């Protein structure tokens, strides 16, 4: 299958589902999660890994529904923006615009713009609730807004949205205490997470914590 055909096939698949789908880590969105996990951190971790690693899809049996995920939608909006230029595709431009409007409206940050996952998350190091804005999802959304600003450029809202996302990152996630400087993964959590700080100066990160992690 050629590249053009693959793009069209993926596009048709996603559009038929309104770009809603499952996520590898969405187990805690099950209505049965409180019972199955006994309300414990270790229980939430076990359920998450069991659903993620199962050889068959357990989600329908657990009542987990395909969801609209801000990180995925940001990637799709960026792809539409690029496709609109590569193919001179007005429908792709329209769809990029619609998704970005929905993305901005779906911000869950109280300062600026920020986005989270549509499910609770529990890791070895900390947990956070559905919708809690985080560094990774917000970064993907900001990049999508910048792509639209550069490639489509029909709305001042794209650049403004990206700037407001940066404002959230700086005001809510940037941690500094004179010796250390890094972006927290979510507000009020001080663990250093590598994938929220790629490209930052290694000397700053090395002093940050005796534990540093990669977190969903």
Q: Encode 17-48 in three state secondary structure.
A: CCCCECCCCCHHHCCCHHHHHCCCHHHHHHHH
- Total count of domains within the chain: 1
Residue 57 reports pLDDT greater than 70: yes
- State residue 215's pLDDT score: 57
Residue 53 lies in a domain: no
Strand pairing class (181-183; 174-176): antiparallel
Is the pLDDT score of 206 beyond 50? no
Query: Is 205 a domain residue?
Result: yes
Mean per-residue pLDDT, 17-43: 97
Average pLDDT of the residues in 41-52: 98
Mean pLDDT (the chain) is 90
pLDDT score recorded for residue 213:
52
Question: Is residue 37 a part of any domain in this protein?
Answer: no
> Residue 207: pLDDT above 70?
no
Domain-located, residue 16: yes
State whether residue 107 is helix, strand or coil: coil
- Host H or E run for residue 62: helix 59-62
Give the range of the structural domain holding residue 187, as residue numbers without chain letter.
3-21+66-213
* 179 located within any domain: yes
Question: Is residue 199 a part of any domain in this protein?
Answer: yes
DSSP tally for the chain: helices H, then strands E:
9, 6
Residue 203's pLDDT is 40
The model's pTM: 0.88
pLDDT band at 39 (very low <50, low <70, confident <90, very high): very high
Nearest CA-CA partner of 99 in 116, 117, 83, 78 = 78
pLDDT-based confidence at 84, cuts 50/70/90? very high
Q: Looking at the predicted structure, is the pLDDT value of residue 27 above 80?
A: yes
Alpha-carbon distance of 25 to 183, in angstroms, equals 22
Q: Residue 212: is its pLDDT beyond 50?
A: no
> What are 122-141's pLDDT values in tens digits?
998 899 999 999 999 999 99
Give domain status of residue 41, yes or no.
Answer: no
pLDDT at 208 (0 to 100) = 33
Domain for residue 46, yes or no? no
């Amino acid at each position: 299958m050629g590249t053009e055909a693959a793009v069209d096939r993926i596009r048709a698949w996603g559009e038929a589902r309104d770009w809603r789908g499952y996520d590898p880590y969405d187990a805690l969105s099950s209505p049965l999660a409180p019972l199955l996990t006994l309300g414990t951190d270790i229980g939430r971790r076990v359920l998450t890994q069991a659903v993620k690693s199962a050889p068959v899809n357990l989600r329908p049996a657990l009542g987990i529904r395909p969801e609209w995920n801000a990180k995925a939608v940001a990637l799709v909006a960026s792809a539409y923006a690029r496709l609109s230029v590569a193919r001179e595709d007005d429908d792709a431009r329209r769809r990029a615009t619609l998704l970005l409007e929905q993305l901005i409206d779906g911000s869950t940050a109280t300062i600026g713009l920020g986005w989270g996952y549509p499910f609770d998350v529990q890791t070895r190091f900390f947990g956070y609730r559905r919708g809690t804005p985080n560094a990774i999802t917000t970064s993907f959304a900001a990049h999508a807004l910048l792509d639209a600003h550069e490639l489509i450029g029909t709305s001042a809202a794209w650049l403004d949205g990206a700037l407001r996302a940066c404002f959230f990152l700086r005001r809510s996630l940037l941690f500094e205490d004179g010796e250390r400087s890094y972006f927290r993964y979510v507000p009020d959590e001080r663990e250093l997470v590598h994938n929220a700080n790629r490209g930052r100066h290694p000397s700053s990160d090395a002093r940050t914590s005796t534990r540093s992690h990669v977190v969903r």
